[in-house]
Structure 1
Amino acid sequence: MTTTNFTLVRNPFGRLVLTRDGVVHEGVVPVRAFPIQAPDDGIALVNTDGAEVAWIERLSDLAEDTRSLIAEELGGREFMPEIARIEAVTSFATPCTWNVATDRGPTSFVLRGEEDIRRIGQGSLLITDSHGIHFLVRDLPGLDKHSRKILDRFL
Structure 2
Amino acid sequence: MTSDFQLTRNSFEHLVLISSDGTVHENVSPVRAFPIQSPDEGISLVLEDGQEVAWIDRLSDLPEAIRALVDAELAGREFMPVIQKIESISSYATPCTWHVKTDRGSTAFILKGDEDIRRLGLASILISDNHGIQFLIRDMHAIDRHSRKILDRFL
TM-score grouping bracket, smaller chain normalisation: over 0.9
Tell me what 1:14 maps to: 13
Tell me what 2:89 maps to: 89
Q: How far is 1:4 from its partner?
A: 2.8
- How far apart, CA to CA, are the structure 2 residues paired with 1:151 and 1:61? 37
Alpha-carbon deviations, 1:88-123, whole Å to 9, x = none?
A: 111111111101011111100011111111111221
Q: For 1:141, what is the secondary structure of its paired residue?
A: coil
Identity %, equivalent residues: 64
- How far apart, CA to CA, are the structure 2 residues paired with 1:93 and 1:112? 9
1:129 maps to 2:129: yes
Query: What are structure 2's unaligned runs of at least 5 residues?
Result: none
Q: What is the TM-score normalised by the length of structure 2?
A: 0.95
Q: Which runs of 4+ in 1 moved over 3 A?
A: none
Alpha-carbon deviations, 1:27-54, whole Å to 9, x = none?
A: 0000000111111110000001111111
8 Å CA contact 2:2, 2:61 repeated in 1? no
How many residue pairs are counted as aligned between the two chains?
154
1:32 maps to 2:32: yes
Which letter does structure 2 place at the counterpart of 1:29? S
Q: What is the TM-score normalised by the length of structure 1?
A: 0.95
- How far apart, CA to CA, are the structure 1 residues paired with 2:58 and 2:146? 38
